[in-house]
Amino acid sequence: MVKKKTCVFISGQGSNLKNLILRSRDKSFPIKISLIISSNNNAKGINYAKKFKIPYQIVNAKHRNPDNKILKSLNKFNISFICLAGYMKIISNKIVNKFEKKIINIHPSLLPKFKGLNTYTKVLKNCEKKTGCTVHYVNNKLDDGDIIVKKIFYINSNDNENTLKKKTQTMEYKAYPEAIIKIFRNR
């Protein structure tokens, strides 16, 4: 099997990045993480790039023409697939259009509910009975692309933002690899 050269975009802790790196070590997993791009030079996820000897690049909004810098790196490493894993920037139309149906994101809610930021606060404020995570294709609208996989769990009366985050992340570690396998099984 020829693995798809993949770039993972991060901004923070990198827990989904770590999970994807470990899964990608499996011979039957369809992607190889060949590049990591971070919007934050203090992202702890960069440590996984260093630990696993994966090239990485820090690109923040202060760079002139950040899209051009990103596209140049994606071309340099022959990237054909992109995973957003806690990337806290909007992907530009220029990149989305170049990688149409080749960029996926994981979001900590049951889309289309609670797009954007502060998801756990919104879930609790709306007295939801269940929540989870969604892996979806990225398009030119925020958290709007076609859904690939959803994972659901029920909320307990004693749940708070921290417990919801932990439960959701546990679901994400299953959902993201499942979505990737599903995508490449269908290609």
Q: Could you give the residue numbers annotated as active site?
A: 107
Q: Which two tokens stand for residue 174?
A: 């299953």
Which helix or strand (DSSP H or E) is residue 7 part of? Answer: strand 4-10
- The C-alpha atoms of residue 63 and residue 134 are separated, in whole angstroms, by 31
**How many Cβ atoms sit within 10 Å of the Cβ of residue 137?**
18
Sheet with strand 4-10: strands edge to edge: 56-58, 31-38, 4-10, 81-84, 103-107, 130-137, 147-154
Question: Cα 98 from chain centroid?
Answer: 18
Listed residue (156, 150, 144, 146) closest to 116, CA to CA: 144
Burial (0-12, 13-18, 19+ Cβ within 10 Å), 122: middle
Residue pair 110/134 in contact (Cβ under 8 Å)? The answer is yes
